[in-house]
Amino acid sequence: MFYTETMQSGFGFYGHDDIIRWQQALEPMRALAGPLPRRSPIGALVKSMISGRTKDPVSLAAYDRLVARFGTPGQVLAAGRADVLRCIGAVTHAEDKARYLIGALGRIAAERKGFDLGFLGTLPLGEALAWLERLPGVGRKVAAATLNGSTLDRPVLIVDGHVLRVLQRTGFVRRGAEGRDASEAVTAAMPEWRGQDFLDFHIGTKKLGQTLCRFDGTDCARCPLRTDCRARSD
């Protein structure tokens, strides 16, 4: 586990025991969302890179088209940006994502035989995140998804826009906190959690953000976190 004063500064009003309670309260949301498939690390990286600010069914369909057409990361890289763009054209910012994806795969190919990212499972967590974040188009959300949402099962929280909104509204992190702040704050607060615990919390919190705690409206009366939420409307 890694911990710095910067991570601690992301905390708002809540801490470890609150996260434990919220995890239990969010179980119906997690069950509603269903399990996430654990892909290989390179598969999780590719899927996450094309998913930002895009609805899940759209990004999943784009990922499936990539797999069906090219089969391997090496063939994606060999195909080039234009062919990749034809597969992922429905996602948000598709041109940028195609460029970043080719750039990231090219960097990995130059350093890791067979696109094998298994070594990230043995590095200290902070070093593994830093290695990924030096790739084109990879920030904390994609890096965390590669480590936590893959077969590596590393203990770090994935924070997308939905998760960040919930954590800001409840007051766990400040209103101005970024996804990196929220990921580091929750990860640091839960040193005993395994990778699956963080993934379950991500799934449940994301589903809450997609349904009852949306950007454009809330249903506070039905929210399982309403008693703790500092932004709730009574």
The predicted-structure confidence for 137-187, as pLDDT tens digits, reads as follows 999 999 999 999 999 999 999 999 999 999 999 999 999 999 999 999 999
Domain final position from 122, 148, 174: 148
Residues 134, 116 share a domain: yes
Please tell me the predicted confidence (pLDDT) of residue 7.
42
Distance CA 7, CA 172 (A): 12
Domain count, the chain: 2
**The model scores a pTM over 0.85:** yes
Residues 169, 125 share a domain: no
E strand residue ranges, the chain: 213-214, 217-218
List the beta bridge partners of residue 218. 213
Residues 46, 29 share a domain: no
CB 88 within 8 A of CB 65: yes
In a domain? residue 230? no
In a domain? residue 227? no
Domain final position from 115, 148, 181: 148
Please tell me the predicted confidence (pLDDT) of residue 61.
98
Helix axes 179-189, 140-148, angle to 10 degrees: 40
Residues 136, 53 share a domain: yes
Residues 212, 133 share a domain: no
Residues 80, 163 share a domain: no
**Domain range spanning residue 192?**
5-35+157-222
Q: How confident is the chain (234 residues) per 10-residue block, as mean pLDDT?
A: 38 82 98 94 98 97 98 98 98 98 98 97 98 98 98 98 97 95 97 98 98 97 96 84
Distance CA 228, CA 213 (A): 14
Residues 52, 96 share a domain: yes
Distance CA 233, CA 190 (A): 29
Please tell me the predicted confidence (pLDDT) of residue 12.
53
